[in-house]
Chain A
């Protein structure tokens, strides 16, 4: 019943006649008859829009939407301003393809150019690309950028997000390169171990800060070790945190990567998200994916184009360093829009409130007998506690509509963003206290 084909049966017949055919079957004359599907697809019959709506709404209703989210670990529940939801839904942005034809795509190209500028300003790096798929693939692509004939090994901190480590490992498996994991000590990267592992064959070291346990790493010092060994320093950051924390540029990163989901994208059970990638000017031509550049048009006016295309797969084919074609352009537009909507003061305020609320929650939880903080280093908006009755605690919170922290190792990894109120945090702490009493 559902269909988006405008042509009526009569029109289709006339069109067939116009191409000298009598039936639709003739359209597929090149397909060996034995191969043609000789039965209807085993799918339900098509439905009207209203029926489909009911069915999808019923599926959505099978998920639980928590009033309070105290879980992060790679996906964060930040406040998304109304305008940030509304603008990317404009059909022009939504339904355009990659801006191959600059003369009718200046809006998309300019939005990416603006995004690239904001990412450079946020990170203190020189150049940003137009995005890759997510934070994990951004880290994997960064590792590939750093390898050369002599230096082929990638190092990654054990405190990076497990999905990031596994994704980098998969990309290394693809090209047949080695990945070595640098151990941690007390929830942060072990700098002594790193020093020893920085051998002559190491191309890069990937550090995440704040790391998976929420701990802020001593990125500057670790970066210096990496550079002393003539390897490249890849720093994975949290974009909201950079309103407060030292930028990858200030930490000496050669490449900065991030999961861009916190910048106005819904958690959406894991995607679509946004892979942020920015680098020093020196590495500009090694960046993968689309990059928008400014130029002038035939009338001498400012214009934007997809630039430096000779890096890419459609020109370099098997010699391209990445096969990426489609990226996450609409998510990049959303992130740029989010940053513009918050502005410098708004982003700082959001970051400060994340910091303050996470520390408030940490204080409230650790005041409960039996709850201890596992790692004592500085943190931004995530921290790991150890406590008894972990499953009961999370179940009690769940019953109250609160998504508690993530079970990690022997503890719980908590997160608080600007979105939660003091009352919600007090309530969560009271429930934990009650369970443990």
Chain B
């Protein structure tokens, strides 16, 4: 389809503002813009049609099954959107006086109270704007803690090799050396490798549990105890919290701080890549290190962005929490796990799970033997799913499983949807033996064929230019 610039017609416009009712002001010409301002020119209907055309070329959770592992693509309730758009929230200036913002402050207080209860933490900040930003904030808590004690020799953060890339990148942004430890064959932490890495130079461990292959690490208490014994702290990456919320709490597993992805676990929409919100919780002894806005709450603390965070995302999450309540939160977790196990069972017999045991909210398929046999890769299967209207699972992650496809159905999918998905997987499994070529060249009826990513990276075109 055409770009908005290619639809632009000189003189087309929307009428938005009244004529200026105060005298015009001229600035010194040396301060002024010299170049043209080549923004597109369209009427309101032309704009509406352009974006409607664009949104038909997007697959959202509302369009169909979206089992993108580790992303928790659950239904995003409409009521949450409507509440976030209330003028009493959307039109509030971040620096409005305290008495004019009591409702906003109460939203944060109540959300903090509920999330502390769910995670077993004592303090909470909503300043981080996304999961990775929450990781940054959480690891900075660890850094400040050690520094405040004059314990300056702790220069290392331990990260399992199955971790999401943001974990090691975060540790590096916080000035730590990253110690990657190999996972045990079952994808869990290798206790011997952990013991070997621990020492007086370790600041902490970053871990997600359930881990990135969808398994609950049953040694978790031993793991956090070992880290604490050597003086380190334990950071919980909450990417997989949906599996356990209301059932078991990170605080009870021995973690000291945690980030949550409100845009995963607490049903706020992901918006095609953001905005999210990465609430960070911590135990009482770390509370004094939580960030805050200098302008809103005074100087003297670190701060990781402006103002109080992605507040309207927190409004959505609180709406969701109020809806689910004390029974609904664990109900969601249990059904997320049930759906994942059900789907794994239905797919088993065609594709092979990497770990053949009860999973948590997600599971990983290992297609390496299948690829050897048929020549069809995980990528080919993913692209063939697109032709069948399903968003592919996460591909080639975690790195410890070869030809990985990671599926997370979430609790909001019905049994019928899971049965249909399993049937599609079985159909593709058979197709790979019958007509692998069809899968190598998939998708065939998507918006586009496979894009040439090599060309995109070698000769980058990152903006439109008039011919």
Contact = CB atoms under 8 A, between A and B. Distances in A.
19 contacts: A45-B326, A53-B82, A59-B106, A85-B85, A94-B269, A100-B394, A107-B54, A108-B58, A110-B54, A269-B104, A269-B308, A271-B313, A303-B451, A313-B168, A316-B169, A318-B172, A323-B172, A343-B12, A346-B13
B21 A250 contact: no
Interface in A235-292: 242-247, 249-250, 259, 266-273, 284, 290-292
A15 B342 contact: yes
Contact of A16 (B32, B37, B170, B338): B338
Interface in B60-90: 60-63, 66, 68, 71, 73-77, 79, 81-90
Contacts of A425: 22
B375 interface: no
Contacts of A350: 17
A356 interface: yes
Q: Interface size bucket, A side? A: 35 or more
A42 to B, nearest CB: 5
A33 to B, nearest CB: 10
A45 B327 CA distance: 7
A314 B395 CA distance: 12
B81 to A, nearest CB: 6
A284 B462 contact: yes
List the 9 closest pairs (A to B, CB-CB), nearest first.
A60-B88, A270-B307, A330-B271, A46-B325, A329-B273, A62-B103, A2-B323, A272-B275, A298-B449
Nearest to B59: A104
Interface stretch (A151-159, A160-168, A196-204): A160-168
Interface stretch (B225-233, B244-252, B279-287): B244-252
A382 to B, nearest CB: 13
A296 interface: yes
A270 B307 CA distance: 5
Interface string B97-137: 10111111011000000100110000000000111110110
B83 A71 contact: no
A367 interface: no
B25 A359 contact: yes
Contacts of B59: 92, 96, 101, 104-105
Nearest to A119: B463
Contact of A344 (B39, B337, B345): B39
Given A134-B129, A320-B165, A325-B166, A356 B310 contact: no
B165 A317 contact: yes
B14 A343 contact: yes
Select the residue from B21, B24, B85, B96 with max chain A CB neighbours within 10 A. B96
Interface string B274-312: 111100000000000001011110010011111111111
Interface string A22-56: 00101111111001110011111111010011011
Given A97-B270, A421-B21, 13 more contacts: A3-B324, A18-B342, A40-B326, A42-B326, A45-B326, A74-B95, A74-B295, A103-B443, A105-B272, A108-B58, A137-B133, A273-B306, A317-B165
Nearest to B313: A272
Contacts of B311: 268-271
Contact of B464 (A27, A59, A117, A418): A117
Contacts of A250: 33-35
B448 A63 contact: no
B462 A293 contact: yes
A356 B330 contact: no
A394 B95 CA distance: 13
Contact of B48 (A3, A83, A102): A83
Contacts of A308: 457, 460
B62 A91 contact: yes
Interface residues of B, number: 202
Interface stretch (A171-179, A187-195, A226-234, A368-376): A171-179
A145 interface: no
A322 B464 CA distance: 26
B93 A77 contact: yes
A6 B248 CA distance: 23
Interface in A49-92: 49, 52-53, 55-57, 59-66, 69, 71, 73-75, 77, 79, 81, 83, 85, 87-92
Interface in B329-366: 329-332, 334-335, 337-339, 341-342, 345-346, 358
A94 B81 contact: yes
Contact of A4 (B31, B303, B412, B415): B412
Given A79-B17, A103-B446, A268 B312 contact: yes
Interface in B1-52: 1, 3-5, 12-14, 16-18, 20-25, 27-28, 31-42, 44, 47-48, 50-52
B248 A36 contact: yes
A131 B13 contact: no
Given A133-B305, A325-B130, A320 B169 contact: yes
A56 B316 CA distance: 10
Contacts of B88: 57, 59-63, 65
B423 to A, nearest CB: 15
A142 interface: no
B174 interface: yes
Given A66-B96, A124-B35, A134-B306, A47 B27 contact: no
Contacts of A359: 22, 25
Nearest to B383: A103
Contact of A2 (B53, B91, B325, B337): B325
B307 A293 contact: no
Contact of B93 (A1, A75, A330): A75
A131 B301 CA distance: 26
Nearest to A98: B273
